Amino acid sequence: MKKMIRLGLAALWLASAWAQAQPSGNQAPDVGAGQKRAAVCFACHNADGISKIPGTPHLAGQERSYLENALRAYRDGQTRQNPTMNPMAKPLSDRDIVNIAAYYSSLARSGQGQK
């Protein structure tokens, strides 16, 4: 019984350590709001995150933290410079970025059997 409690506490500790290590901290992402905010992105990346335009990457099923970092980097324009994506990312708030990343990350990568 004592062992169970200790195990439970360890799991709780791990869960909170993991939560703190996430890039978006305690902000729970809102996938629905992300989908709405991402409407301007659909022209190129599509609503399903699988782009039909050559040179435009698929976003569906990509790691959330990776998408957040990519969007911050485009917004800042220091480490990622691209004439299309820099102006697209400029007006996004931190919250928009968290939500949009959660939205695209939640989508299935077609044909890869993941998610």
Report d(CA 67, CA 75) in Å as an integer: 12
Among 24, 41, 49, 99, binds ligand HEC (CB under 6 A): 41
Q: Is 55 in the site for ligand HEC (CB under 6 A)?
A: yes
Amino acid at 101: A
Q: Is 57 in the site for ligand HEC (CB under 6 A)?
A: yes
Please, are residues 101 and 87 in contact by the beta-carbon 8 Å criterion?
A: no
Q: Is 59 in the site for ligand HEC (CB under 6 A)?
A: yes
Q: Is 107 in the site for ligand HEC (CB under 6 A)?
A: no
Which tokens is 19 given? 């939560």
- Give min distance, CB of 45 to ligand HEC, in A: 5
Q: Is 75 in the site for ligand HEC (CB under 6 A)?
A: no
Q: Which residues in this chain contact ligand HEC in the complex, by CB under 6 A?
A: 38, 40-41, 43-45, 55-57, 59, 67, 70-71, 82, 84-85, 88, 100
